Structure 1
Amino acid sequence: MVWKTTIQHLLRRAAPALRPDPALAKEMRARLEAAAAQRLGRALSIRHVAAGSCNGCELELRATQTLIYDLTQYGLSFVASPRHADILLVTGVSTRNMAQALREARAAMPDPALVVAVGDCAVDGGVFKGSPVVLGGTKALVPVDLVIAGCPPNPAEIIAGLVTLVEAHDTKMPPKPKILPGMA
């Protein structure tokens, strides 16, 4: 049984790689740069927390950093510490073992911070709903600003969601401090 499936996969032609539309990528980059500059005066940083997942969403997140999608061209990058992050990106179901770590990661972030739930599991528990070790989606532990559904969502959907999130919250962010002449 396993060999039959393996052979079928080996003989099947690989699907062509999805390439984002260059014009759309350029437009999204300009929109995000403008929103980030107005919000912080710099690029935005993302802290990723895997709250208990199958790693499907993590694979798609890593694909956003490849040459095909290149998340950094939009002014977004991953950081290792929540203290340096503007966006908390959560994948996987919220398990009892990760509840405290997720809350602490959000508490360590400077305000204003945005929380994004990526994947069906992070949205509402996905196929693991009802398990005694699963508390539900991310919103069971921290307030969520954006939900990117899918099992897993593709890199283009993740990037489009992040751009939309930053633009939507752009007007709610405090204005960048102005530097008066003679203070620079």
Structure 2
Amino acid sequence: MDSVWTKTLNQVKTWARINSPWAIHFNSGSCNGCDIEILATLTPRYDVERFGIKLQGSPRHADVLICTGPVTRQAKNRLLRIYEQMPDPKFVIAVGSCGLSGGAFQGCYNITGNINEVIPVDVYVPGCPPRPEAIIYGVAQLLAKLQAPAPAVKEG
């Protein structure tokens, strides 16, 4: 009986996570080009909220971290702190060329690296800056990844 209850509860959690992901946005040192495009995805023209995404102000309420820019020395600890404050399971979307590889800022004295070198990234959205359609596609890819059934774990 307990396993049926647990299975049902996990199905409800997965359904809620897929249909209502809450996101937080963090700029780890970008030029704000990607930030403007992320804000454009929230406007009625592109309406990313049709997927249930809601932008949050607190990492304690967010499921998805949308991160832009290369990670600067000043932002590295803040990025780690925000990531650690998010409840499990948590997901990261890296937006823009700078977040993926350092972009135009690669090799600068104040850049510690790309986002994947600091925290694990689930979905990458390339572009400089990526169009809102590409960001929405990245969100859809993350939601599709969440819908996929988890691989069975062998006991024993």
- How high is the TM-score relative to the length of structure 2? 0.83
Quick one: distance in 1 between partners of 2:36 and 2:123? Answer: 20
2:97/2:127 contact within 8 Å kept: yes
Match of 1:161 in 2: 138
1:39/1:170 contact within 8 Å kept: no
1:137 aligns with 2:114: yes
**Alignment deviations for residues 43-69 of structure 1 (CA, whole Å, 9 cap, x no partner):** 110110000010000110111011110
Equivalent position to 1:71, from 29, 48, 51: 48
Structure 1 pair 65/41, CA: closer, same or farther in 2 (3 Å)? Answer: closer
Match of 1:58 in 2: 35
Q: Give the drift of 1:41.
A: 7.1
Quick one: distance in 1 between partners of 2:16 and 2:136? Answer: 18
SS at 2:93's partner residue? strand
Equivalent position to 1:98, from 48, 59, 75: 75
SS at 1:142's partner residue? coil
Quick one: distance in 2 between partners of 1:103 and 1:172? Answer: 29
Q: Give the drift of 1:37.
A: 6.0
Match of 1:88 in 2: 65
Q: Give the drift of 1:39.
A: 5.1
Quick one: distance in 1 between partners of 2:45 and 2:88? Answer: 32
Superposed, 1:1-184 pairs within 5 Å as: 38=15, 40=17, 42-171=19-148
Quick one: distance in 1 between partners of 2:43 and 2:143? Answer: 22
Which of 1 and 2 has greater Rg?
A: 1
Q: Could you tell me the percent identity over the aligned residues? A: 38
Structure 1 pair 156/144, CA: closer, same or farther in 2 (3 Å)? Answer: same
Structure 1 pair 98/39, CA: closer, same or farther in 2 (3 Å)? Answer: same
SS at 2:148's partner residue? helix
1:93/1:125 contact within 8 Å kept: yes
Aligned alpha-carbon RMSD (Å):
1.7
Structure 1 unaligned spans of 5+? 1-35, 174-184
Structure 1 pair 131/42, CA: closer, same or farther in 2 (3 Å)? Answer: same
Quick one: distance in 2 between partners of 1:87 and 1:154? Answer: 19
Q: Give the drift of 1:42.
A: 4.9
Q: Give the drift of 1:170.
A: 2.6
Q: Give the drift of 1:155.
A: 0.4
Quick one: distance in 2 between partners of 1:172 and 1:135? Answer: 36
Q: Give the partner amino acid of 1:145.
A: D
